[in-house]
Protein backbone atom coordinates (compact mmCIF):
# COMPACT_ATOMS: atom_id res chain seq x y z
CA UNK A 1 0.00 0.00 0.00
CA UNK A 2 1.40 3.40 -0.96
CA UNK A 3 1.97 6.19 1.51
CA UNK A 4 -0.77 8.28 -0.10
CA UNK A 5 -3.28 5.42 0.28
CA UNK A 6 -2.31 5.07 3.94
CA UNK A 7 -2.93 8.77 4.47
CA UNK A 8 -6.25 8.51 2.63
CA UNK A 9 -7.30 5.58 4.82
CA UNK A 10 -5.97 6.69 8.22
CA UNK A 11 -5.25 10.40 7.78
CA UNK A 12 -8.27 11.77 9.62
CA UNK A 13 -8.02 9.49 12.69
CA UNK A 14 -4.28 10.21 12.86
CA UNK A 15 -4.95 13.95 12.68
CA UNK A 16 -7.43 13.60 15.55
CA UNK A 17 -5.02 11.59 17.72
CA UNK A 18 -2.03 13.77 16.85
CA UNK A 19 -3.91 16.98 17.57
CA UNK A 20 -4.63 15.82 21.11
CA UNK A 21 -0.90 16.12 21.70
CA UNK A 22 0.22 18.75 19.18
CA UNK A 23 -2.46 20.75 17.45
CA UNK A 24 -0.36 23.21 15.43
CA UNK A 25 1.76 20.56 13.76
CA UNK A 26 -1.33 18.53 12.85
CA UNK A 27 -3.09 21.58 11.42
CA UNK A 28 -0.09 22.58 9.34
CA UNK A 29 0.41 19.00 8.20
CA UNK A 30 -3.31 18.72 7.43
CA UNK A 31 -3.16 21.98 5.47
CA UNK A 32 -0.27 20.63 3.41
CA UNK A 33 -2.18 17.41 2.72
CA UNK A 34 -5.23 19.44 1.70
CA UNK A 35 -3.07 21.48 -0.64
CA UNK A 36 -1.83 18.21 -2.16
CA UNK A 37 -5.43 17.18 -2.75
CA UNK A 38 -5.14 14.17 -0.43
CA UNK A 39 -7.43 15.33 2.38
CA UNK A 40 -10.45 17.64 2.64
CA UNK A 41 -10.09 20.98 4.45
CA UNK A 42 -13.42 20.82 6.36
CA UNK A 43 -12.60 17.32 7.62
CA UNK A 44 -9.07 18.32 8.63
CA UNK A 45 -10.49 21.27 10.59
CA UNK A 46 -13.12 19.02 12.19
CA UNK A 47 -10.67 16.29 13.24
CA UNK A 48 -8.16 18.75 14.70
CA UNK A 49 -10.91 20.72 16.46
CA UNK A 50 -12.20 17.51 18.08
CA UNK A 51 -8.66 16.56 19.14
CA UNK A 52 -7.87 19.86 20.81
CA UNK A 53 -11.37 19.92 22.32
CA UNK A 54 -10.70 16.51 23.90
CA UNK A 55 -7.39 17.76 25.33
CA UNK A 56 -8.56 21.10 26.70
CA UNK A 57 -11.90 19.98 28.11
CA UNK A 58 -10.17 16.97 29.67
CA UNK A 59 -7.80 19.31 31.51
CA UNK A 60 -10.71 21.54 32.50
CA UNK A 61 -12.42 18.57 34.16
CA UNK A 62 -9.14 17.46 35.75
CA UNK A 63 -8.98 20.91 37.36
CA UNK A 64 -12.62 20.75 38.37
CA UNK A 65 -12.29 17.30 39.98
CA UNK A 66 -8.71 17.22 41.30
CA UNK A 67 -7.41 20.81 41.18
CA UNK A 68 -8.20 21.93 44.71
CA UNK A 69 -6.87 18.69 46.18
CA UNK A 70 -3.60 19.00 44.26
CA UNK A 71 -3.14 22.62 45.38
CA UNK A 72 -3.83 21.64 49.00
CA UNK A 73 -1.50 18.65 48.88
CA UNK A 74 1.32 20.47 47.07
CA UNK A 75 1.53 24.04 48.41
CA UNK A 76 4.55 24.87 46.22
CA UNK A 77 2.36 24.36 43.11
CA UNK A 78 -0.22 26.66 44.63
CA UNK A 79 2.47 29.25 45.37
CA UNK A 80 3.98 29.02 41.87
CA UNK A 81 0.63 29.26 40.12
CA UNK A 82 -1.01 31.88 42.33
CA UNK A 83 -0.44 34.91 40.12
CA UNK A 84 -1.62 33.19 36.96
CA UNK A 85 -4.66 31.76 38.72
CA UNK A 86 -5.62 35.28 39.84
CA UNK A 87 -5.39 36.52 36.24
CA UNK A 88 -7.53 33.60 35.01
CA UNK A 89 -10.04 34.27 37.80
CA UNK A 90 -10.43 37.92 36.76
CA UNK A 91 -10.74 37.20 33.04
CA UNK A 92 -12.42 33.81 32.83
CA UNK A 93 -14.25 34.45 29.55
CA UNK A 94 -11.13 35.81 27.82
CA UNK A 95 -9.03 32.93 29.17
CA UNK A 96 -11.62 30.42 27.93
CA UNK A 97 -11.63 31.98 24.46
CA UNK A 98 -7.86 32.30 24.13
CA UNK A 99 -6.60 28.96 25.51
CA UNK A 100 -5.53 27.72 22.07
CA UNK A 101 -3.64 30.93 21.33
CA UNK A 102 -1.59 30.77 24.56
CA UNK A 103 1.13 28.34 23.70
CA UNK A 104 2.92 27.07 26.79
CA UNK A 105 -0.11 27.52 29.05
CA UNK A 106 -2.49 25.03 27.44
CA UNK A 107 -2.55 22.69 30.40
CA UNK A 108 -2.45 25.28 33.14
CA UNK A 109 -5.25 27.55 31.88
CA UNK A 110 -7.90 24.82 31.46
CA UNK A 111 -6.95 23.42 34.87
CA UNK A 112 -7.13 26.90 36.45
CA UNK A 113 -10.50 27.47 34.79
CA UNK A 114 -11.66 24.11 36.13
CA UNK A 115 -10.66 25.18 39.64
CA UNK A 116 -12.40 28.52 39.22
CA UNK A 117 -16.15 28.91 39.75
CA UNK A 118 -16.81 29.50 36.03
CA UNK A 119 -19.90 27.55 34.93
CA UNK A 120 -19.06 24.80 32.44
CA UNK A 121 -21.53 26.22 29.89
CA UNK A 122 -19.81 29.61 29.97
CA UNK A 123 -16.39 28.00 29.62
CA UNK A 124 -17.62 25.81 26.77
CA UNK A 125 -19.26 28.68 24.87
CA UNK A 126 -16.16 30.86 24.88
CA UNK A 127 -13.82 27.92 24.38
CA UNK A 128 -15.63 26.67 21.26
CA UNK A 129 -15.54 30.14 19.68
CA UNK A 130 -11.82 30.51 20.44
CA UNK A 131 -10.93 27.00 19.29
CA UNK A 132 -12.82 27.48 16.02
CA UNK A 133 -10.98 30.76 15.42
CA UNK A 134 -7.68 29.03 16.19
CA UNK A 135 -8.41 26.07 13.89
CA UNK A 136 -9.36 28.36 11.01
CA UNK A 137 -6.33 30.61 11.51
CA UNK A 138 -3.65 27.92 11.88
CA UNK A 139 -5.30 25.58 9.35
CA UNK A 140 -5.41 28.29 6.72
CA UNK A 141 -1.76 29.07 7.49
CA UNK A 142 -0.92 25.41 6.84
CA UNK A 143 -2.75 25.50 3.53
CA UNK A 144 -0.99 28.74 2.55
CA UNK A 145 2.32 27.20 3.60
CA UNK A 146 1.66 24.48 1.01
CA UNK A 147 1.02 27.17 -1.60
CA UNK A 148 4.26 28.95 -0.71
CA UNK A 149 6.22 25.69 -0.87
CA UNK A 150 4.77 24.95 -4.30
CA UNK A 151 5.69 28.43 -5.49
CA UNK A 152 9.31 28.06 -4.37
CA UNK A 153 9.84 24.38 -5.11
CA UNK A 154 7.69 23.91 -8.18
CA UNK A 155 5.14 21.14 -8.04
CA UNK A 156 5.41 19.47 -4.66
CA UNK A 157 3.96 16.23 -6.02
CA UNK A 158 7.36 15.55 -7.58
CA UNK A 159 8.90 15.51 -4.14
CA UNK A 160 8.32 12.72 -1.68
CA UNK A 161 5.43 13.68 0.56
CA UNK A 162 7.19 11.74 3.31
CA UNK A 163 10.09 14.18 3.29
CA UNK A 164 7.71 17.11 3.73
CA UNK A 165 5.91 15.37 6.58
CA UNK A 166 9.21 14.57 8.31
CA UNK A 167 10.32 18.20 7.96
CA UNK A 168 7.05 19.46 9.46
CA UNK A 169 7.32 16.99 12.34
CA UNK A 170 10.96 17.95 12.98
CA UNK A 171 10.03 21.62 13.04
CA UNK A 172 7.22 20.85 15.51
CA UNK A 173 9.55 18.82 17.75
CA UNK A 174 12.17 21.59 17.68
CA UNK A 175 9.50 24.18 18.50
CA UNK A 176 8.20 22.05 21.39
CA UNK A 177 11.73 21.60 22.75
CA UNK A 178 12.36 25.35 22.62
CA UNK A 179 9.08 26.03 24.43
CA UNK A 180 9.95 23.43 27.07
CA UNK A 181 13.36 24.94 27.76
CA UNK A 182 11.98 28.50 27.83
CA UNK A 183 9.33 27.38 30.35
CA UNK A 184 12.01 25.75 32.51
CA UNK A 185 14.09 28.94 32.50
CA UNK A 186 11.01 31.03 33.44
CA UNK A 187 10.15 28.61 36.28
CA UNK A 188 13.71 28.71 37.63
CA UNK A 189 13.78 32.51 37.45
CA UNK A 190 10.40 32.66 39.21
CA UNK A 191 11.63 30.30 41.95
CA UNK A 192 14.77 32.40 42.45
CA UNK A 193 12.70 35.58 42.73
CA UNK A 194 10.16 34.03 45.14
Q: Where are the domains of the chain?
A: 3-193
| Percent of the chain predicted with pLDDT > 90 | 18
pLDDT above 70: residue 4: no
Cβ contacts of 116 within 8 Å, gap of 6 or more:
85, 88, 89, 92
Determine if residue 102 is left, alpha or beta; phi over 0 gives left, psi from -120 to 50 gives alpha, anything else beta: beta
- Give the range among 13-17, 71-75, 106-110, 146-150 with minimum mean pLDDT: 146-150
Amino acid sequence: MSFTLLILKFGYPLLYLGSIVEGEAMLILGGLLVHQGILSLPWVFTCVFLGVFTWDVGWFFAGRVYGTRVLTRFPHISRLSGGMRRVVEKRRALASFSIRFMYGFRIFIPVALGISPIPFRTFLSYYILGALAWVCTIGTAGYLFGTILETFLGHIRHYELRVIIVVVILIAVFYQAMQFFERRVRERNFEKNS
